[in-house]
Amino acid sequence: MSALLHTGNLPTDIIAPLRTDFDSLTPSLYKDGSYRLRRYSKFTYNQDSQDIELIRGSQFVQSSELNKFQGDVVRQYDDVSDELLQTEGFLTIVDTFAKQGGLPNDATVEVHQMRIVSKDPAKPTITTPEGLHQDGFDRISMFTVSRQDVAGGDLCAYKTNDPDSMLVRLPSETGVYCVMDDSELWHYASELSTTGESGFWDLFVLTANLQ
């Protein structure tokens, strides 16, 4: 049986309005904090009622075995905004992840809201400093919200940790997404280069376990 991998496009008229919520993201003190601006939250999601219940003040940490870039570092970011949780676009993203990922009805989901910034046309931004990797969950997904004055940032899924095992490469355009089995497949995003003086890529990364 092949590992779970879904790709698709959500309607741009639903997803594009979420961009304004990214404008208030700020740098952090972590190693990637100057160019990967981020909010992070945990929440529960009930597919029957479509209720999202935020678990405020959650911390994020990965082992150094999974994340050689900044593993074993306890990180805490601002929670996603209450305004975001009320939008049709964010609910559509969460529901798509839950359904296509086969999550249980009352799943605990982690979300990274990120703006990856590119400031120097001569020096591409490394969007994935962890390299080709897994994140230690049963399911992971990436949803592009917007991009401005950048090239690159393609979402790539791999069968193994061999760069020659690529299964799919998706452009980071508004509404484009992938949902995959993080325990079986590997992922990476290509470098990002500004086509002007500065540019960015806005996306959500959602993760969850099946139990």
Span 173-197, pLDDT tens digits: 999 999 999 999 999 999 999 999 8
Confidence band for 130, pLDDT divided at 50, 70 and 90: confident
Q: Is the pLDDT reported for residue 1 higher than 80?
A: no
pLDDT of residue 30: 80
Ramachandran region, residue 133 (left: φ > 0; alpha: ψ -120 to 50; beta: rest): beta
Q: Is the pLDDT reported for residue 70 higher than 80?
A: no
Instruction: Please choose, from the candidates 161, 211, 208, 156, the residue with its C-alpha nearest in 3D space to the C-alpha of residue 181.
Output: 208
Q: Is the pLDDT reported for residue 77 higher than 80?
A: yes
pLDDT of residue 29: 82
Q: Is the pLDDT reported for residue 95 higher than 70?
A: yes
pLDDT of residue 2: 75
* Model pTM score: 0.92
- Tell me the C-alpha distance between 173 and 171, whole Å: 6
Q: Is the pLDDT reported for residue 59 higher than 90?
A: no
**Residue reference for tokens 């991998």:** 5
Q: Is the pLDDT reported for residue 138 higher than 90?
A: yes
Report which secondary-structure segment, H or E, holds 98: helix 88-100
Q: Please state, rounded to an integer, the average pLDDT across all residues of the chain.
A: 92
* 84-117 b/e (C-beta count within 10 Å ≥ 16 → b): bbebebbbbbbebbbebbebeeebbbbbbbbbbb
Q: Is the pLDDT reported for residue 71 higher than 80?
A: no
- Could you read off the pLDDT of 34-48 as tens digits, one per residue? 888 999 999 999 999
pLDDT of residue 75: 81
